[in-house]
Each structure stands twice: as C-alpha cells, then as structure tokens.
C-alpha cells in the first residue's frame, strides 16, 4: 500500500491516463484491491427534491431556467414523499439516498428547515443521506451535520481553466469554498465532475489535480459522462467513448486510492462489458434507479442482473473499509484478531502513517 499523495501534477496524471490500457488497468486494479473489497459496490439512489427553474447557467444542465428543455419542474417535495421514496430505494438494495435541489445556494428559512427534516427522516431509516443543494455556508454545513447528513455532493465539474467556458454565474473558487465549508463540519465530501463537455485531456487531469490535492481527499468522487440534453448549449456533444470513461475511472482510482469512485451519469449508453471494465478499473459505486435527477438511468432489475453476472454485491449502509481516526484506534483494530479484512493487512504501517499525519494536522 502506497502513501496517499496530495502533490500530483497535471503532467503525471496525463501520463497515467495515457498509459497502455492493460498497464493502466493492472495498476488501477492493484490499488483498488489494496484499499477496497473489489466485489462490493455501493448503491446510491438519487432523488430530485426540487426540480428545474435554477438561476445558474451551467452549460450541461437541463435544470437551468434559461434553457428550454423538456423537464417537468417541481417545488420542494414534502418530507413524507421523500420518506416513501427512500423506503422504496432501500427495498431495492440502495444504502444511500442523495437528494438534489436545483438551487444556486442554500438559503436559511422554511425550505432549508424542511430539507433538515428530510435528512433526519432518512437517517432514522438507517440509510446514508447525501445532499447536493448548491453553495453552502459553514453554518449551514454544521446544521446539516447535526441533522445527520453523511455526505455533501458539490462537483468541481472540470478544470479551473475550462470552468469559465461551462459556467459564468459562479467561479471555481466558490465551489472550493463550499467544499471547504463541508470539510469543516463532520460531513464527508463528495466531489467529482463530468467528461465529454468538449474539454481537453489536460482539463480532465486538471480536475483530478484539484481533487487529489485536497487534504484529506474527497471520500467520494463521481465521474459523470455528459448526458447531452436537448435545449442545453451542450445538446450536440458527441457521446463519451467508453475507453475515456475507463481511463478516467482508472486514473481517479490511482490518484485517490481511498476514495469511493462513482460511475455516475451516462450508464444508459454503456454496455455491461464496458461497465465491468470500469468496475475492474476501480469504480465502486453507482447511482441506481431508472432516473438520475431528470434524465434516464438503467432499470434497477437490469443493474441487479449485472451485479449477479459479475459477482458484485451491494455495499451495506455505513459499511466501509475500517478507517480509524487515531493511531491508537488503528493499533487496537489491528491487534484484535480477525477484525481487519485480509486485503488491507500488508498496508498497515502506511495506513497508520497516514492516520498519524491527519491526526497531527487536526
């Protein structure tokens, strides 16, 4: 097990991405096995709790009010609707619910109070709760944490350089500031991006530099293939070749070994074989359910059949590779026989060093 590096350069990442495919897959799969159970995949369900009418101009997004897309807009859902949907997701094998709102930022007031109640409600169902609600202050992040939020999704989407070509209504720094506010609370960070928006390889690498140099790295990184929606400025973008998705997943896995890498939007256009290669390359999470936020996703039964074929198992809620927070906890974990899955044993010392480093920082 190698040390977690926070100093990856764009050039190094481009070199990894461009490696001969078999070498890249071998390296990524090796890292994956050191930090994760390669047969477990975390299953999340997306729930659009407030759809459409967003004031932002994100060039990829069907929910921006200024683009004329075919989606059906909705006001904030009720807590009981959300509970019913979460129960349905749990029954179909999902361990996490991710609630998305088409907001620029969170505003204190009755709607935020309602979201906090949704978080408390899903938490009581023994599921991990994630939200993606736009920009967030430190105080709002703390209130979400108190309500039991497990993760907050806020994507960097692309490199800092390319960002200006995709979105003009906010800056890259705004995204980083929100991630920082989430980090200051007890909520885990989920941040990734989209490929297929006309960016260069250097932009894909630039985004991975921005994410991997965060310290600690995000606990979860979604890799989305653009869903080109009619009516958005990106409606005519070419579909992402599966090879790009595989390379992007593998590179993400190598530079962020501990992170959960999510094979996110765009799976409807991927074959089972293509997705299997993404899992081999280190993807260990998906969004399940026949809808993402507003666009289609594979049917749950199809996904379960794919899991059966590949021998994959859905990961239970809160089930993680043991990640002790102090060296004392790490030592006691290693000393208590049988508690540590065997694939992490060789890395004990390095894992312990990383924990010591984080402990010293806090």
Which residues are identified as catalytic? 54, 58, 61, 98, 130, 190, 262
Q: Which does 157 bind (CB under 5 to 8 A by kind): ligand SAM, ligand SF4, ligand DTB, none?
A: ligand SAM
Using the rule CB under 6 A, is 155 a contact of ligand SAM? yes
SS3 labels along 45-88: EEEEEEECCECCCCCCCCCECCCCCCCCCECCCCHHHHHHHHHH
Q: Which residues of 34-46 are buried (b: 16+ CB within 10 A; e: fewer)?
A: bbbbbebbbbbbb
Nearer to ligand DTB, 227 or 281 (CB): 227
Is the peptide bond between 249 and the residue preceding it cis, with omega within 30 degrees of 0? no
> What minimum distance in Å lies between the beta carbon of 202 and ligand DTB?
21
Q: What is the SS3 assignment for 296?
A: strand
Among 64, 129, 278, 292, binds ligand DTB (CB under 6 A): 292
Residue with tokens 């694939």: 343
Tokens representing residue 116 in the block: 């906090």
Q: Which does 114 bind (CB under 5 to 8 A by kind): ligand SAM, ligand SF4, ligand DTB, none?
A: none
Using the rule CB under 6 A, is 118 a contact of ligand SAM? no
Q: Is 190 annotated as a binding residue?
A: yes
Of residues 86 through 105, those in contact with ligand SF4 by CB under 6 A are 102, 104
Q: Is 67 in contact with 233 (CB distance < 8 Å)?
A: yes
CB atoms within 10 A of CB 214: 17
Using the rule CB under 6 A, is 224 a contact of ligand SAM? yes
Please compute Rg for the chain using Cα positions.
19
Nearer to ligand SAM, 51 or 344 (CB): 51
Q: Is 228 in contact with 183 (CB distance < 8 Å)?
A: no
Q: Is 178 in contact with 66 (CB distance < 8 Å)?
A: no
Nearer to ligand SF4, 92 or 105 (CB): 105
Residue with tokens 């190094």: 12
Instruction: Select the span of 13-21, 30-38, 118-126, 222-230 touching ligand SAM (CB under 6 A).
Output: 222-230
Nearer to ligand SF4, 34 or 56 (CB): 56
Using the rule CB under 6 A, is 192 a contact of ligand DTB? yes
Nearer to ligand DTB, 85 or 264 (CB): 264
Nearer to ligand DTB, 152 or 279 (CB): 152
Q: Which does 294 bind (CB under 5 to 8 A by kind): ligand SAM, ligand SF4, ligand DTB, none?
A: ligand DTB
Please spell the DSSP secondary structure of 77-137, one letter per residue: PPHHHHHHHHHHHHHTT--EEEEEE--SB--SSHHHHHHHHHHHHHHHTT-EEEEE-SB--
> What minimum distance in Å lies between the beta carbon of 193 and ligand DTB?
8
Using the rule CB under 6 A, is 194 a contact of ligand SAM? yes
Using the rule CB under 6 A, is 289 a contact of ligand SAM? no
> What minimum distance in Å lies between the beta carbon of 355 and ligand SAM?
31
Alpha carbon distance 274, 242 (integer Å): 6
Alpha carbon distance 212, 205 (integer Å): 10
Tokens representing residue 13 in the block: 């990442």
Using the rule CB under 6 A, is 73 a contact of ligand SF4? no
> What minimum distance in Å lies between the beta carbon of 33 and ligand SF4?
34
Using the rule CB under 6 A, is 257 a contact of ligand DTB? no
> What minimum distance in Å lies between the beta carbon of 105 and ligand DTB?
16
Strand pairing class (96-101; 151-153): unpaired
Residue 260 DSSP symbol: E
Q: Is 262 annotated as a binding residue?
A: yes
> What minimum distance in Å lies between the beta carbon of 314 and ligand SAM?
23
Using the rule CB under 6 A, is 140 a contact of ligand DTB? no
**Residues forming the annotated binding site for [4Fe-4S] cluster?**
54, 58, 61
Residues comprising the binding site for [2Fe-2S] cluster? 98, 130, 190, 262
């Amino acid at each position: 097990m190698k040390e977690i590096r926070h100093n990856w350069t764009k050039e190094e990442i481009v070199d990894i991405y461009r490696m001969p495919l078999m070498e890249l897959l071998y390296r990524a799969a090796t890292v994956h096995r050191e930090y994760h159970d390669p047969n477990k995949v975390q299953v999340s369900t997306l729930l659009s709790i407030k759809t459409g009418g967003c004031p932002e101009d994100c060039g990829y997004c069907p929910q921006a009010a200024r683009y004329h897309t075919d989606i059906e807009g909705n006001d904030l859902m009720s807590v009981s609707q959300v509970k019913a949907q979460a129960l349905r997701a749990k029954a179909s094998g999902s361990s996490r619910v991710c609630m998305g709102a088409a907001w620029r930022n969170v505003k204190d007031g009755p709607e935020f109070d309602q979201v906090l109640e949704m978080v408390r409600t899903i938490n009581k169902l023994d599921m991990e709760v994630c939200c993606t609600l736009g920009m967030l202050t430190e105080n709002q992040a703390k209130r979400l944490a108190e309500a039991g939020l497990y993760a907050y999704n806020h994507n960097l989407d692309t490199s800092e350089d390319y960002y200006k070509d995709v979105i003009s209504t906010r800056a890259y720094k705004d995204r980083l500031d929100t991630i920082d506010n989430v980090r200051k609370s007890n909520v885990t960070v989920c941040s990734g991006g989209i490929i297929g928006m006309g960016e260069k390889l250097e932009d894909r690498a630039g985004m991975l530099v921005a994410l991997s140099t965060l310290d600690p790295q995000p606990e979860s990184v979604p890799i989305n293939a653009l869903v080109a929606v009619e009516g958005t400025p990106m409606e005519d973008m070419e579909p992402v070749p599966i090879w790009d998705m595989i390379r992007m997943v593998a590179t993400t896995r190598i530079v962020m070994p501990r992170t959960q890498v999510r094979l996110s939007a765009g799976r409807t256009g991927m074959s089972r074989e293509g997705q299997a290669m993404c899992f081999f390359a280190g993807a260990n999470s998906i969004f399940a359910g026949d809808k993402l936020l507003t666009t289609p996703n594979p049917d749950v039964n199809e996904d379960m059949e794919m899991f059966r074929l590949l021998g994959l198992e859905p990961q239970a809620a809160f089930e993680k590779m043991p990640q002790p927070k102090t060296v004392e906890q790490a030592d006691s974990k290693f000393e208590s026989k049988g508690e540590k899955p065997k694939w992490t044993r060789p890395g004990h010392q390095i894992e312990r060093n990383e924990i010591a480093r984080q402990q010293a920082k806090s």
